[in-house]
Amino acid sequence: MASKPLESELTSTGDRVRALLAVLTLTASWACSSEQVADSKSDFTHGYADSDGVNIHYATAGSGPLVVMIHGFPDYWYTWRKQMAGLQDKFQVVAIDQRGYNRSDSPAGEDNYAMSFLVADVAAVIRHFGQEKAIIVGHDWGGVVAWSFAFANPEMVGKLVVLNLPHPNSWIQSWSDNPDALAGTGYARAFVEGTPETPEVFFGYPMTPQTLSGWVSDEAATPKYVEAFERSDFNAMLAYYKQNYPRNWEADFQPGPMAPQLNVSTLVFHGLDDKALHSDGLNNTWDWIDADLTMVTVPGAGHFVQQDAADLVTSTMRWWLLARSP
């Protein structure tokens, strides 16, 4: 739910961002305007689901049980390209652009990014494909949405996969138990209190398509990310934080009600080099899941574990899902 790894996981961020800007200058002339086909194995079909008047863009491939994939910040559907390629022979994989991002609509007003609307968008996508339930996969803010969707609509969740976003109960508890876990959330205050025009709002940099793409290590993907963020709404991105992030820096901060027990088979991935979302947040996850729980920690991978350890995440996800298929 953070882009702190932009600063702390990718060596020297200042050098990386400056290098990125130089690369972008060279690649701008050939950057492809189409998002079609990111992997030689996959042709993705694009479309839109109507979520109470808000168009939610998706890319889809394959056939079989429905898998809905939800990206985080700053990201878009393309983050799942390797997982989509690895699952499409057994599943229909659908990766969405969350509202405010890339080709999805960006309704005006911060209130339109409250969690209830983000959850409703996922339900709309499932119904758009004529299904009553789906396997839900989420990373970062997509992980928050995935957990929240499962809590609110467990009957619509076949299985749950969450990447680098600990269970809300244990994540918030980790802020009290570990000062490092709390310190890692400091970036969120800048997002809540700032605006896209604040010069250093994004880890000491302005909020631009280029700086938002600074975490992307795949040079071939970088121009695509820049284009996606050029189409995105920066106010909407920050509205996720302004509307939904616990204000743990306030003196009178009190955690909200505990999330309910969840009786859904759950797979959790966590890149251990994530400095914003500390691995202590994984503690006691098993206390809140009444069904089987599988946890996979990945040394050497950072916040964007689905890209940092794409082969491991894809193969493990595939094995785990197939092992639980009828």
Give the model confidence (pLDDT) of 180-239 as tens digits: 877 888 899 999 999 999 999 999 999 999 999 999 999 999 999 999 999 999 999 999
Query: Is residue 36 in a domain?
Result: no
CATH number reported for the structural domain that contains residue 268 in this entry: 3.40.50.1820
Query: Is residue 271 in a domain?
Result: yes
pLDDT given at position 42: 57
Cα–Cα distances in Å, from 49 out to 54, 57, 72, 121, 152? Answer: 8, 7, 19, 8, 20
Contact 139, 70 (CB under 8 A): yes
Query: Is residue 46 in a domain?
Result: no
CA–CA dist 298, 286 (Å, integer): 18
CA–CA dist 276, 6 (Å, integer): 10
pLDDT given at position 310: 98
**Domain ranges, residue 126:** 5-29+57-248+257-323
Query: Is residue 181 in a domain?
Result: yes
CA–CA dist 13, 159 (Å, integer): 36
Per the structure, the count of domains in the chain is 1
Q: For tokens 């509205």, what's the residue?
A: 239
- Average pLDDT of span 15-25: 38
Crossing angle between the packed helical segments 186-193 and 234-244, to the nearest 10 degrees: 120
Query: Is residue 45 in a domain?
Result: no
What proportion of the chain, given as a percentage, has pLDDT over 90?
75
Give the model confidence (pLDDT) of 109-162 as tens digits: 999 999 999 999 999 999 999 999 999 999 999 999 999 999 999 999 999 999
Contact 43, 61 (CB under 8 A): yes
Query: Is residue 101 in a domain?
Result: yes
| Averaged pLDDT of the chain | 88
Query: Is residue 265 in a domain?
Result: yes
CA–CA dist 245, 256 (Å, integer): 11
Query: Is residue 51 in a domain?
Result: no
